[in-house]
Amino acid sequence: MRDDALEQIVYVVDDDIEFSESVRFLLTSVNLPVKLYHGAEEFLADIGPETKGCLLVDVRMPEMSGLQLQHILKEKNPDLPVIIMTAHGDIDMAVRAMKDGVLDFVQKPFNDQKLIDMLNKALKTNERASRQRQHKAALHDRLNLLTSREKEVLDLIVAGNTNKEIGYHLGISDKTVEVHRARIMEKTMVRSVQELMKLVFDIAPDR
């Protein structure tokens, strides 16, 4: 992992070197960390799933467009917000990109403050998404501590079964169910069935 992977950075991808340098000057003047890339492949080679910040990318570039890059980024790092830079004739394209997951678009030449506001919004969006992902990862780690039998008991608890029903379904005694239930509560660090069910539902799409 790169040393800056956990630092929020504004990644600027544009084949216009002079323009990119002007953006760098603007962003550093308001203390926003920035890295420049003159092509999409160069950018993709430098980032990973843990990379934090946001991407500011030109919609039209040789070899790979900003829209193609955004599509790849949805798989490589879906938490990294994307802002598309467009020329006047690219507005329809930018609107389609937003429907595909782009956070926002800004038209060249842009108002400096408008761009800064957009980037700050994107960075906050990324921070929220990163915290949520870390929270889910922590919940997964807790559930991964459970044995296969404990996971079976957990699924039956979440389904609303009583200890007696769980015991009947698994062919074990009520007392054994109680032991499994206590261990599940301990490993998942919850104090009630309600908290346990919330934990499971919080990560339900990922189970």
Q: What domains lie within the chain, and their CATH numbers?
A: 9-133 (3.40.50.2300), 145-206 (1.10.10.10)
Predicted confidence (pLDDT) at residue 156 exceeds the cutoff of 80: yes
Does residue 55 sit in helix, strand or coil? strand
Q: Given this model, what pLDDT does residue 1 score? A: 40
Written as six digits, the tokens of 181 are 């239930």
DSSP 4: T
Give the residue among 93, 91, 103 at the shortest CA–CA distance from 68. Answer: 93
Average pLDDT over residues 30-59: 94
**193-202 and 148-158 helices, crossing angle to 10°:** 100
Give the tens place of pLDDT for each residue, 98-120.
Answer: 777 889 988 888 899 999 999 99
